[in-house]
Chain A
Amino acid sequence: MSFEPKIVAFCCNWCSYAAADLAGTARMQYPHNVRIIRVMCSGMVHPEFVMNALSQGADGVMILG
């Protein structure tokens, strides 16, 4: 089976999370292996979150803000 990376994305409530909502409204299709976590600002993302994600098996972490 081909490699399916697991990606954790931290999205800012005011921009990238809203953009992901809009991608839905526009029915834009994208790969399903990203899991979005809503934060109130990308500046809220503590390094610990990223370290935890990577150590618990995430192949990539995105911080979008």
Chain B
Amino acid sequence: MTLSEVAAITGSAGDFTVTVKESPRYVDVNKCIACGACAEKCPKKVASEYDAATGKRKAIYVKYAQAVPLKYQIDPNSCIRLKKPGACGFCETACDAGAINFNDTEKIHEINVGAVVLAPGFEAYDPTSAGVWGYGTFPNVITSLQLERYLSASGPTEGHLVRPSDGKPVNKVAFLQCIGSRDENLCGNGYCSSVCCMYAIKEAVIAKDHVPGLAASIFYMDMRTHGKEFDQYMVRAKENSGVRFIRCRVNGVETDGNSDDLRLSYVNEAGRQVEEFYDLVVLSVGLQTPKHVLELAHQADIKLTASNFAATSDFAPVQTSRQGIFTCGAFAGPKDIPQSVVEGSAAAAAVADLLAPARFQLTTEASFPMEKDVSGDKPRIGVFVCHCGSNIAGVVDVAAVEEYAATLPDVVYVERNLFSCSQDTQEMISKRIQEQNLNRIVIAACTPRTHEPLFRETLKAAGLNEYLVEMANIRNHNSWVHSAEPKAATSKANDLIRMAVAKVAYSNSLRPISVPIYQKGLVIGGGVAGMTAALNMAEQGFEVHLVERSAILGGNALHLKHTWSGEYIPTAVAKLVDKVVLHDKVIIHKEFAVTAVEGFVGNFKSTITGKDGSKKIIEHGAGIVATGAEAYIPTEYNYDSIARVVTSVQFDKLYELNEVHVKKAKNFVFIQCVGSRETGKMYCSKVCCTHSVQSAIALKKENPDRNIYILYRDMRTYGQRENLYREARKLGVIFINYELHGKPNVHEDGQQIDVEVWDHVLHRPLNLKADMVILATAIRPMGDASKLGNLYKVPVDGDGFFQEAHAKLRPVDFSTDGMFVAGMAHYPKPIEESVAQALAASARAVTLLSKKEVSLDAIKATVDETHCDGCALCVDVCPYHAITLVDKKAADGSKAGKVILVNKAQCKGCGLCQGTCPKRGVYVAGFTMEQVNAQVRAALAA
């Protein structure tokens, strides 16, 4: 349901009634084929929201090219016809599909659901009202979103970076950070938006790629690149791309008076007032909750934080204050794409937990007629040429194409359709297949990437194997891109159809592969992430084996006291342990570790070995790696020799015990980034800034006379944690910045500790007398992570943390199917992010486990035993480890050399094996050597 808003949510968890208001689209989505003829004729141009007003759109439009559903809509606020009945209406005339409906009306739907997920997202801060940035006044001040459009090939300048004022090339660009974030005065958004540092660096690097010689400067307060591999990216931006970083908050933007150049004046790190001129100033705008979302929150009756984000608990990060209503993404606090995707899956896990008893109640299964065996039959090919309204027929001479197609070998039937994809044409094609006894089909229309699944269904409905269809892409690759050359396009359409006919003649019936699944899970690691994942899977009704190497559950959380928002960790962990221990579907194996693994998705067999040497074999369909991380034991700052130099975790324990040295101490120095963000360990441990700030606040609140110093490189109190940083400063905690090349020196001096550090504000060395020095030490990956990784064929990254399949798209999946990752095994993170990731991993695992078998596409590598001689070249190139070398048996059962065996469940059909094999010993079904060679031959036949 698009163009829809929630008007009310009544009822309670398990039985909500949601009132949804669906605004009229004025376009029938069942008829619209998104050809764009309407927008071409529409005379009304308005600023495009997607292009952040850098470009125009029509009154009838799709928001952007990849929109889902790819259907047009009419904007009633700008449409001439909707404002004045009887006027215009050009789109209606232009639409061959008859999809325009000016009489469309608003609809109210009442939906009965068991749970609700609120994922309304954020809006970018609008800097117009702030005035000082000159946004809206000076044309060359733009927002980061507008720059994104300028840098895009599909943007208003097709990727050329030019000045909006005069179209001249940009030579010097400045990025100003924290616009609409960390700023209570101008906009009231005191929090950090978390994502802007990273996107500014990315945009600066891309801009420099686009414009050789471009000078790009980023003005910032703290570089908050705390995500996985972000610091490495920043170092590369600095050292390889030459992006300049200036630690300074610029207070405003002015023009130079004569040209459209922009003047920035600021105080540099040497304390001097500097004036610089730029062609373009980019405002790195922050994230905020839009007004209509605040109304939605009110409708849903959920609590918000002081910063207007959904209030959640750190141990239930996707659960809102109202039972049965969940949340995810930037509405639950500003965050980047990977974390939003994780929370999306986590919300699904939380909903699945709540609604587990109702699983499968609403599913229906489609049924198809018996499939005809065509293997022995001579090809009888039917070609269906689509007009796509005027999209194809307006350029290509479809009648000539029809005539030509009929002359091709094995083609026995040709027909033209106005829209091949429409429901009635589908039925007609199905009828023709039966009438004409067709056994191979070519659809000459649009792209197989969107429409092949549809035509496969059509074949199935006609009793023909679904793989006996081939599409000729005469729209996207032809009529749309050669619209001014109808003759050439017609001849190319002929070629494309000839190629498809040549290929489909060699197509065979293929069977989708079905793999049975052990409906049980395995979780490795009994910390917060492991327990959360195990519990969620168990609550959803699946048996879970939880393997913990030590004798106790709890992991690193056993050493921690408070989450950033102040929740008491020991109680929450104890509750979690109780729930896991008492759950009859969770089988706990303490003092066991995984020592051997065989199998693949759905069918793993993991051997676990106990401390006493005993072995157990666990059969499971999916596995979650939640093996955590460990604390770095420092060697720097005389940690070994000075007793009162301690780590943060040690300090927490001393503080809780009210130890005499802590109690009496007056001067505390915290040193950040101990073991983090250094050569060889170029990653941020993410939790330490917040941890030190929290300790400092507690110490200061207890006794305001204490002197507390935090020596930091960049304060990374990201998101709503920024409130803690502000509170610490208000309480008088002193923050002193140091650089990697000027680390503090720590020496014992009798009863006190001397800490020497360069002060960047005073521009002289400072000598601090400390009673205690607290080191914010790094989080290290488990030393034996790669050993476990090798067992499951899952990789670790350069730092030693487990590597997910894709940072944004698949943040909890491994590239090995059926294996998932959660918690600090993946990267250092605070508890609420570990919990979210654990829930997400559980959701992903259960997606598999909820089925008795997995059905996989039949486009897979297949061995031709008559040609394969077991040379094994393909074994090494297979990126999915799907190929193994096995003994070949002769007819009499004796050994006859080697041959490869493809595991179809692991094979993705990429065909690297086929491309590598020198002997035609392996091929990909649907893309055989014969088929592709036939296409090549046909392509060049004319």
A contact set with B: CB distance below 8 Å: 6, 8, 13, 17-18, 20-30, 32, 35-41, 43-49, 52-53, 56-58
CA A25 to CA B285, docked complex, whole Å: 31
Q: Which of B488, B909, B915 contacts A46 (CB 8 A)?
A: B915
Instruction: Choose, from B83-91, B264-272, B407-415, B469-477, the stretch at the interface.
Output: B469-477
B939 & A39 in contact (Cβ 8 Å cutoff) = no
CA A29 to CA B447, docked complex, whole Å: 17
A8 & B936 in contact (Cβ 8 Å cutoff) = yes
Q: Which of B495, B912, B940 contacts A57 (CB 8 A)?
A: B940
Closest to B938 in A: A35
Q: Which of B36, B480, B499, B910 contacts A37 (CB 8 A)?
A: B499
Tell me the smallest distance from the CB of B727 to a CB of chain A, in Å.
Answer: 48
Chain B residues in 8 Å Cβ range of A38: 448
Q: Can you list 10 contacts pairing A with B, beta carbon distance less than 8 Å?
A: A20-B477, A21-B476, A23-B476, A29-B482, A32-B492, A37-B499, A38-B448, A40-B927, A47-B915, A52-B936
B481 & A28 in contact (Cβ 8 Å cutoff) = yes
Closest to A57 in B: B940
CA A40 to CA B880, docked complex, whole Å: 14
A23 & B481 in contact (Cβ 8 Å cutoff) = yes
**CB within 8 Å for A46 and B480 given contacts A35-B496, A36-B473, A56-B936:** no
CA A57 to CA B488, docked complex, whole Å: 19
A37 & B940 in contact (Cβ 8 Å cutoff) = no
B940 & A53 in contact (Cβ 8 Å cutoff) = yes
A32 & B449 in contact (Cβ 8 Å cutoff) = no
B65 & A26 in contact (Cβ 8 Å cutoff) = yes
Chain A residues in 8 Å Cβ range of B449: 13, 17-18, 21
Chain A residues in 8 Å Cβ range of B912: 41, 43-44
CA A18 to CA B476, docked complex, whole Å: 10
Of the listed residues A25, A36, A37, A43, the one surrounded by the most CB atoms of chain B closer than 10 A to its CB is: A25
CA A39 to CA B932, docked complex, whole Å: 9
CA A41 to CA B909, docked complex, whole Å: 8
Tell me the smallest distance from the CB of B61 to a CB of chain A, in Å.
Answer: 14
B940 & A43 in contact (Cβ 8 Å cutoff) = no
B484 & A29 in contact (Cβ 8 Å cutoff) = yes
Closest to B937 in A: A56
Q: Hey, what's the 0/1 contact readout for B907-918 against A, CB within 8 Å counting as 1?
A: 001111011010
Which A-B residue pairs are the 5 nearest by beta carbons? A44-B911, A24-B476, A41-B910, A24-B480, A43-B912
> Considering the complex, which residues of chain B in the window 26-77 have a beta carbon less than 8 Å from any beta carbon of chain A?
36, 65-66
A41 & B911 in contact (Cβ 8 Å cutoff) = yes
Closest to A45 in B: B915
Q: Does B307 have its Cβ within 8 Å of any Cβ on chain A?
A: no
CA A43 to CA B36, docked complex, whole Å: 35
B859 & A40 in contact (Cβ 8 Å cutoff) = yes
**CB within 8 Å for A39 and B495 given contacts A17-B449, A27-B481, A46-B929:** no
Chain B residues in 8 Å Cβ range of A53: 936, 939-940
A27 & B910 in contact (Cβ 8 Å cutoff) = no
CA A49 to CA B482, docked complex, whole Å: 27
Q: Does B757 have its Cβ within 8 Å of any Cβ on chain A?
A: no
**Could you list 10 further interchain pairs (A-B, Cβ under 8 angstroms) beyond the known A21-B477, A43-B911?**
A6-B940, A18-B449, A21-B449, A22-B65, A32-B492, A43-B915, A44-B912, A46-B915, A46-B917, A47-B915
Closest to B931 in A: A37
Q: Does B924 have its Cβ within 8 Å of any Cβ on chain A?
A: yes
Q: Does B154 have its Cβ within 8 Å of any Cβ on chain A?
A: yes
CA A37 to CA B499, docked complex, whole Å: 9
B924 & A40 in contact (Cβ 8 Å cutoff) = yes
Q: Does B422 have its Cβ within 8 Å of any Cβ on chain A?
A: no
Chain B residues in 8 Å Cβ range of A30: 481
CA A11 to CA B66, docked complex, whole Å: 20
Chain B residues in 8 Å Cβ range of A8: 936, 939-940
Chain A residues in 8 Å Cβ range of B484: 29
CA A47 to CA B873, docked complex, whole Å: 15
A27 & B482 in contact (Cβ 8 Å cutoff) = no
CA A8 to CA B934, docked complex, whole Å: 13
Tell me the smallest distance from the CB of A58 to a CB of chain B, in Å.
Answer: 6
CA A41 to CA B924, docked complex, whole Å: 11
CA A50 to CA B199, docked complex, whole Å: 41
Chain A residues in 8 Å Cβ range of B914: 44, 46
**CB within 8 Å for A48 and B485 given contacts A8-B940, A21-B449:** no
Chain A residues in 8 Å Cβ range of B492: 32, 35
Chain A residues in 8 Å Cβ range of B933: 48-49, 52
CA A20 to CA B475, docked complex, whole Å: 11
Q: Which of B447, B911, B939 contacts A35 (CB 8 A)?
A: B939
Chain B residues in 8 Å Cβ range of A40: 859, 909-911, 924, 927
Q: Hey, what's the 0/1 contact readout for B766-793 against A, CB within 8 Å counting as 1?
A: 0000000000000000000000000000
**CB within 8 Å for A35 and B499 given contacts A24-B475, A29-B484, A41-B912:** yes
**CB within 8 Å for A52 and B937 given contacts A26-B154, A43-B910:** yes
CA A27 to CA B487, docked complex, whole Å: 18
Closest to A44 in B: B911
A49 & B932 in contact (Cβ 8 Å cutoff) = yes
Chain B residues in 8 Å Cβ range of A49: 932-933, 936
Tell me the smallest distance from the CB of B864 to a CB of chain A, in Å.
Answer: 14
Tell me the smallest distance from the CB of A20 to a CB of chain B, in Å.
Answer: 6
Chain B residues in 8 Å Cβ range of A28: 481
Q: Which of B65, B154, B447, B489 contacts A32 (CB 8 A)?
A: B489
CA A6 to CA B933, docked complex, whole Å: 16
A44 & B483 in contact (Cβ 8 Å cutoff) = no
B937 & A35 in contact (Cβ 8 Å cutoff) = no
CA A30 to CA B939, docked complex, whole Å: 18
Chain B residues in 8 Å Cβ range of A18: 449
Chain A residues in 8 Å Cβ range of B910: 40-41, 43-44
Chain B residues in 8 Å Cβ range of A37: 499, 932, 935-936, 939
Q: Does B877 have its Cβ within 8 Å of any Cβ on chain A?
A: yes
Of the listed residues A13, A46, A49, A58, the one surrounded by the most CB atoms of chain B closer than 10 A to its CB is: A46
Of the listed residues B154, B485, B489, B932, the one surrounded by the most CB atoms of chain A closer than 10 A to its CB is: B932
CA A24 to CA B478, docked complex, whole Å: 8
CA A52 to CA B924, docked complex, whole Å: 19
